[in-house]
């Protein structure tokens, strides 16, 4: 083998290795984002179930409906949620109650 062939082979090998490294980094980021989304969905379901339980009471007097609240989750420390009662317009049934739960967080990449 000549020196040109060795340099060309090393170039091709380095491009392949960089591609594999990039793929691993992308996979790790996607995994972390998916994990954060899963935790947020679980928190959302938990708060939605609490809101359903409190529907028979005066929902607007609930302290959880007072703006964005923080949740202490060790794997997702920036998790915040907002629970609010939404009045549909037009409201076909006067006793209809609609609950909206919003969840937001920042993952390690700041997304």
pTM, full prediction: 0.51
Burial 52-89 (b: 16+ CB within 10 A, else e): eebeeeebeeeebbeeeeebeeeebeebbbbbbeeeee
pLDDT score, position 50: 76
Segment holding 66, helix H or strand E: none
Q: What is the pLDDT of residues 13-71, one digit of tens each?
A: 999 999 999 999 999 988 888 888 888 888 778 877 777 776 666 655 555 555 666 66
């Amino acid at each position: 083998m000549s020196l040109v062939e060795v340099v060309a082979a090393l170039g091709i090998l380095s491009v392949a290795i960089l591609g594999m490294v990039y793929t691993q980094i992308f996979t790790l980021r996607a995994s972390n984002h998916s994990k954060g989304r899963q935790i947020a969905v679980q928190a959302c379901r938990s708060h939605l179930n609490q809101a359903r339980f409190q529907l028979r009471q005066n929902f607007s007097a609930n302290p959880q409906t007072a703006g964005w609240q923080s949740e202490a989750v060790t794997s997702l420390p920036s998790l915040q949620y907002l629970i609010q009662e939404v009045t549909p317009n037009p409201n076909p049934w006067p006793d209809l109650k609609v609950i909206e739960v919003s969840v937001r967080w920042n993952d390690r990449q700041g997304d």
